[in-house]
Chain A
Amino acid sequence: MRDINLEIDNIVKNNPVTLFMKGTKDFPQCGFSAVVVQILKNLNVDFFDINILSDPELRQGIKEYSDWPTIPQLYINGEFVGGCDIVKEMFQSQELQNLLKEKNII
């Protein structure tokens, strides 16, 4: 049987930056996901994108894993950073840039 929790755990811990989103980084299929993609691209962050639309089990699984009801969801070094609103606020306040620098990602 598929262990979604373990799968997510491996993904977020083995990638410095992971974005669970609707669509892909080259073709976002939701405005909220597109905003986070734009922010990460703007900061030249190399990130792993996961299209939850192509995987219903993962779509449900990530909501439970993070205890967060919406997509997109951004992870940095295995830690949940936030959804669109929080990432946007952190970008505007430079908090996101500082976090990425602290983790040697940018």
Chain B
Amino acid sequence: MAIEQKILFNIIQEKFPDAIIKVVDTVGDMDHYLIEIKDKQFANLSKIQQHKIVHKALELVLNKNLHAIELKTSF
């Protein structure tokens, strides 16, 4: 488990190239992150749908590298 903030940020940026992204290592252990993604593609979608898009995009890293994320999406 654990992933560097920069690497995680780059993965998210690759998946959401037009988004404004914030990635914060909340505990300082590279294993708990606050992720904020502001992306126009989330417009007109429910919060559940927005989060599902992120879950799918980050499936690999979420399953393998990370213990917990706090996710905030907006458009």
Contacts and interface: CB of A to CB of B under 8 A. Distances in A.
Which range holds the interface residue count of chain A?
10 to 19
Contacts of A80: 48
A83 B62 CA distance: 15
A84 B32 CA distance: 15
A68 B51 CA distance: 9
B37 to A, nearest CB: 12
B32 to A, nearest CB: 10
Contact of A85 (B52, B62, B63, B70): B70
Contacts of A43: none
Interface of A: 32, 67-69, 80, 82-86, 89-90
Given A68-B52, A86-B48, A86-B51, 18 more contacts: A67-B52, A69-B55, A69-B62, A69-B63, A80-B48, A82-B47, A82-B48, A82-B51, A83-B51, A84-B70, A85-B51, A85-B70, A85-B71, A85-B72, A86-B47, A89-B47, A89-B72, A90-B47
A90 B52 CA distance: 17
Contacts, number: 24
Nearest to A69: B55
Interface of B: 47-48, 51-52, 55, 62-63, 68, 70-72
Contacts of A86: 47-48, 51
Given A85-B51, A86-B47, A32 B72 contact: no
